[in-house]
Structures are given as structure tokens and as C-alpha cells.
Amino acid sequence: MRIEGRGVVWLCRAAIVFAIVGVFGAWRNTGPVSLDGVEGPHNGWLVIIFGLIALAGVGALARGSWFGIVLVLGAAAVMIWPAVDAVANDGSVLGGRSGWGVWLTVAASAALAVAAVLAAIRRLRPGLDY
């Protein structure tokens, strides 16, 4: 199955929306207390800003433009970093466990990065079917 054109655009847009929704979900749970991606030491605001930047490059990515591919891949890398950092480091600082929002942000940002990598592969090897 090959996703092209509008499919790539909608896949990327959905990934960006899910990543931003994850920012407002629970990133850290400790008993009755829950912190989202913009509370405490979390940097979820980076996910929001770079999600909007990635949104600007989605159309160019779908057309196979290097500008769009690099823009979306770079933004996805910045989007995934604060969520992975929260999973790796917050347990030692805040205690508790990772919430659903941080995992949604990680998964959606990773999906966005995979879409950009697949677009780059398609650009480098146009005859390759994946």
C-alpha cells in the first residue's frame, strides 16, 4: 500500500494534531496529581511551536520537495525531544509515572518523522515501492 499526495498530507496533519493533543494530556502522574506538557519542567510548548512549523511544510513534503522534507523531519525531531526527555528524566525529579499524553506525543511525533523519512526515500529512489 502506498500513501501519496493527499494521504501524506492528512497523515502528517493528523500526527501533528495528535502530538499537540498529547501536550495537553497527562505527562506525569503521581497519585491524584497530574502534570501536562506545559506544566512543571516539561517543554511541551516546543511541540506546539514546531508542530505549527511542520504544518507549513506538509504540502511541500507531499510534493517531494527537499525543503518540505527537511522542514518536517527537523520539526518532528524537535517535537519528539521534549517528550522523550520527559519520559527519561521526570521519574527521578518528580516521581510517579509517565502519563498518556507524553506517549501520544512521542508516537505522533515519531509517525511524522517516519512520513518525512519515507518521502526522502521516495525522492531518492522514485521507482522503489514500499
Domain assignment of residue 41, given as a range: 6-121
Q: In this predicted model, what pLDDT tens digit does every residue of 2-20 receive, in sequence order?
A: 556 788 899 999 999 999 9
Is 100 among the domain residues?
A: yes
CB 91 within 8 A of CB 33: no
Counting the structural domains of the chain, the total is 1
Q: What percent of the chain has pLDDT over 90?
A: 61
Helix (H) or strand (E) holding 128: none
Grid coordinates 501536562 are at which residue? 36
Is 67 among the domain residues?
A: yes
Q: In this predicted model, what pLDDT tens digit does every residue of 40-82 receive, in sequence order?
A: 778 999 999 999 999 999 999 999 999 999 999 999 999 999 9
pLDDT at residue 113 in the model: 97
Is 1 among the domain residues?
A: no
Q: In this predicted model, what pLDDT tens digit does every residue of 82-99 receive, in sequence order?
A: 999 988 876 565 567 888
pLDDT at residue 1 in the model: 41
Average pLDDT, the chain: 88
Interatomic CA distance for residues 50 and 43, integer angstroms: 12
